[in-house]
Each structure stands twice: as structure tokens, then as C-alpha cells.
């Protein structure tokens, strides 16, 4: 998986602050757009819980001891299983079954409440609301995850939907994230002027850069799907949202 941390400039905090200044000037007509997973939320506690439960189901002590640190290679389930100490042979044997188990749990409200904030996210989102601009969460999560997503926001003290804050979600789980994001990005044009967009997935960050040439596009160099996609040169990579 491509590691984008080398793209992070030493002055990235100044760039994050500049976005807030631009949003203040734009006021209610301006939009600050944020993805959820691996952008404002760290999913590793959720991932770890699922793998622990699979380990318990299969009486596999190595997986029962899974912790967030075992997901530092990103969304790679196989890498996480190996990091937990499972042998390569057992990992190969159980991978598909574990993946099916993961899929049945990960995309649910019950499990997404385990998410924690990406460092600085709660404060940055609060400051985004204070600018007077609209804050729009645009996520590949589907509508059935709305309740759990809002609960996770409340737990992390993030702004919740209402007033100048909007949560835009995928209608169904079956729809492709890529196709949905392109469509959702286009819909933002009806809401106002995009000042800045934040996303961890290179494909989606590139689409923001394409659709909104005047907007600042911030890429969270946390983790991503693992596809080898080169970021557009004007996109700014940051390690977190701490100012």
C-alpha cells in the first residue's frame, strides 16, 4: 500500500488554519466537506473488536488478543491477522471466512460506535462550525449506519447533523463507493461553494480536485483501500487534523 506520509509538508498546520480563515470569509454559502472513515474517525478499534470476536468464535487465542495497533497496515485483514501472531498457514486457511465475518459486522450501526477520532478531528470540526460555513459529512457509509454514526460523533464530541451540519450517506450498502462519491460530490454544487474537502481515499480526493478546481483539497495520510492511485499534485496531505 502506498504510504503518503512523505507528501506531508512541514507547514501543514498552517494550511489547515488557512482553510478555516477562508471559510470565515465565505460564511453560510461556503462548504467544508469531510469524509468519515479514516478522515475524522479512526476505525481500528472497530476492526479489532470484529477480529477478536472471530477469534473467540474459532477459539484462536492470537486473534482474541487483537488490538488497534495490529491494524497499522491499513484495511488489510490478512496483514492484521498476521500482525496478531496467527501463522501464515492459519491465516490463509481462515482468511475468507474471517473476511465474510468482518463484512457482516463492519457495516453496521452496532459496531461503528467503537470508532474514535483521528487526532484533532473533534476540535477542528468544532472550529469549522464556528466559521459560520456549512459542515457537510459525505461518507460511503449507507443509511442503515446513520444511528451508529451519529452516536459515534456524540461520543467523540463532534458536531452532529442539524442546523449548519449535514450528514450525506449512501442509500444502500450495495452501491459502489466510487460511483456514489462522484454523484454526491456533484450534489454539493446545489448546497453552496466548496471551500475545502477532506478525504483519506486518493480516488475520492482526486475527484474533489477535478470537480472543484477552486477548492482546497486535503488528503488524510492515515490509511486507504490500498489501490495504487497517485494524488493530484495540488492536493495537500496531512497526517491528522491537529492544529
State yes or no: pLDDT of 144 exceeds 90: yes
For 158-209, write each residue's pLDDT tens digit: 999 999 999 999 999 999 999 999 999 999 999 999 999 999 999 999 999 9
- pLDDT value at position 161? 98
- pLDDT value at position 31? 98
Rg (CA), the chain: 18
- pLDDT value at position 1? 62
Q: Where are the domains of the chain?
A: 4-43+115-238, 44-112
Class of domain 4-43+115-238: alpha beta
**Residue 231, all three cell numbers:** 494524488
- Angle (CA) 24-200-113 rounded to 5° is 90
- pLDDT value at position 186? 93
- pLDDT value at position 101? 97
For 107-122, write each residue's pLDDT tens digit: 999 999 999 999 999 9
Mean pLDDT score of the chain: 95
Task: Tell me which DSSP letter residue 106 carries.
Answer: H
- pLDDT value at position 199? 97
State yes or no: pLDDT of 133 exceeds 80: yes
Residues 21, 22, 27, 33: is their CA dihedral positive or negative? negative
State yes or no: pLDDT of 22 exceeds 70: yes
For 84-98, write each residue's pLDDT tens digit: 999 999 999 999 999
Average pLDDT over residues 64-87: 93
Distance CA 138, CA 185 (A): 8
State yes or no: pLDDT of 226 exceeds 80: no
Amino acid at each position: 500500500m502506498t504510504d503518503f506520509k512523505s507528501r506531508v509538508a512541514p507547514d501543514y498546520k498552517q494550511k489547515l488554519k488557512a482553510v478555516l480563515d477562508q471559510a470565515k470569509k465565505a460564511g453560510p454559502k461556503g462548504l467544508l466537506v469531510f469524509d468519515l472513515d479514516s478522515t475524522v474517525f479512526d476505525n481500528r478499534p472497530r476492526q479489532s473488536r470484529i477480529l477478536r470476536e472471530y477469534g473467540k468464535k474459532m477459539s484462536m487465542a492470537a486473534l482474541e488478543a487483537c488490538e488497534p495497533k495490529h491494524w497499522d497496515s491499513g484495511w488489510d485483514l490478512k496483514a492484521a491477522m498476521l500482525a496478531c501472531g496467527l501463522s501464515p498457514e492459519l491465516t490463509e486457511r481462515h482468511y475468507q471466512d474471517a473476511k465474510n465475518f468482518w463484512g457482516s459486522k463492519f457495516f453496521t450501526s452496532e459496531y461503528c460506535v467503537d470508532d474514535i477520532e483521528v487526532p484533532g478531528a473533534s476540535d477542528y470540526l468544532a472550529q469549522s462550525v464556528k466559521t459560520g460555513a456549512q459542515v457537510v459529512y459525505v461518507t460511503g457509509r449507507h443509511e442503515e449506519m446513520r444511528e451508529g454514526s451519529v452516536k459515534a460523533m456524540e461520543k467523540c464530541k463532534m458536531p452532529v447533523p442539524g442546523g449548519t451540519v449535514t450528514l450525506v450517506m449512501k442509500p444502500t450498502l450495495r452501491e459502489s463507493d466510487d460511483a456514489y462519491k462522484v454523484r454526491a460530490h456533484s450534489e454539493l454544487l446545489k448546497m453552496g461553494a466548496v471551500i475545502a474537502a477532506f478525504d483519506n481515499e486518493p480516488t475520492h480526493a482526486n475527484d474533489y480536485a477535478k470537480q472543484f478546481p477552486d477548492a482546497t483539497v486535503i488528503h488524510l495520510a492515515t490509511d486507504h483501500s490500498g489501490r495504487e492511485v497517485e494524488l493530484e499534485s495540488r492536493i495537500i496531505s496531512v497526517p491528522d487534523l491537529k492544529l
